[in-house]
Amino acid sequence: MVAEFDRQYQLLRLDDFRAALNDMDAGLKALRETLDVEKRAHGTSIDAAEAALEKARYDLKTIPVQSAIVSEQLKLAEQEAAAVYKELLSEVKLKGLSQEAEWRLNQLERGQAKIELGRAETNADRMLVRSPIDGTVVMSNTWRGGEFAQIRAGDELHPGMMFMRIVDPSSMVIDAAVNQADIEQIRVGTPAQIRFDAYPDLALPARVHAIGAMPKTGGFRASYVKEVPVVLKLDGLEPRVIPDLSVSVDVLFESAPETTVAPLEAVFRAPGEQPFVFVRAGGGWERREVELGLANNTAAVIRRGLEPGDVIAAERPPEEKK
Would the pLDDT of 49 be above 50? yes
Average pLDDT for residues 229-236, to the nearest whole number? 93
Average pLDDT over all residues of the chain: 86
98 and 147, same domain (yes or no): no
- Please check whether residue 292 is in contact with residue 301, taking contact to mean a CB–CB distance below 8 angstroms: yes
Select from 103, 127, 151 the last residue of a domain.
Answer: 127
Tell whether the model's pLDDT for residue 321 goes beyond 60: no
Mean pLDDT of 46-70: 82
**Domain co-membership, 28 together with 92:** yes
Instruction: For residues 147-173, give the mean pLDDT.
Output: 85
Does residue 291 carry a pLDDT above 50? Answer: yes
Instruction: Establish if 1 belongs to a structural domain.
Output: no
Residue-level pLDDT at 221: 62
Structural domain boundaries, residue 83: 7-127
Q: Is residue 245 part of a domain?
A: yes
The per-residue pLDDT for 322 is 46
Q: Are 210 and 118 in a shared domain? A: no
List the CATH number of the domain containing 297. 2.40.420.20
Q: How many domains does the chain have?
A: 4
18 in the same domain as 93: yes
pLDDT of residue 259: 85
Write phi, then psi, for 283 (nearest 5 degrees).
Answer: -100, 10
- Position 317 pLDDT exceeds 90: no
145 pLDDT higher than 80: no
Question: Does residue 8 have a pLDDT over 80?
Answer: yes
Whole-structure pTM value: 0.52
Q: What is the mean pLDDT of residues 266-272?
A: 89
Q: Are residues 143 and 211 in the same domain?
A: no
Question: What is the structure's pLDDT at 211?
Answer: 95
Tell me if 298 is assigned to some domain.
yes
The mean pLDDT of 17-44, rounded to a whole number, is: 86
What tens digit of pLDDT does each residue of 90-118 get?
877 787 888 888 888 888 888 888 888 88
